[in-house]
Amino acid sequence: SSELTQDPAVSVALGQTIRITCQGDNVRKFHANWYQQKPGQAPVVVIYGTTTRPSGIPDRFSGSSSGDTASLTISGTQAEDEADYYCESRAISDDHPVFGGGTTLTVL
């Protein structure tokens, strides 16, 4: 089982704001990263270091963390944001990378 827990699926109306969460004690100690994966494609990082947005990623994507929960917020969600989102951090036991189970985002 994953040390990082994500809701399997969430939905949001077009243009609205959605928060996708990732829960685990890992994120109290380590940074969280977020990856977007569309069908048939490789994952793409949309947030790294908990809050940093890579160049080329729209500013509607933002990251935050509080306690044992890291969050990815998409403001003004667009149809093209429909994808699977995975959080990633470090395992407490051995500092190795570990992924959450992923959240499927549906844009209504």
Binding site for another protein (CB under 8 A): 2, 29-31, 33, 35, 41-45, 48-49, 52, 54, 86, 88, 90, 94, 96-102
User: CB-wise, 16 or 52, nearer to another protein?
Assistant: 52
Q: Is 14 helix (H, G, I), strand (E, B) or coil?
A: coil
Structural contact between residues 102 and 10, judged by C-beta atoms closer than 8 angstroms:
no
Q: Min. distance of Cβ 9 from another protein in angstroms?
A: 13
User: CB-wise, 35 or 61, nearer to another protein?
Assistant: 35
Q: Min. distance of Cβ 72 from another protein in angstroms?
A: 14
Structural contact between residues 11 and 104, judged by C-beta atoms closer than 8 angstroms:
no
CA distance 108 to 45: 23
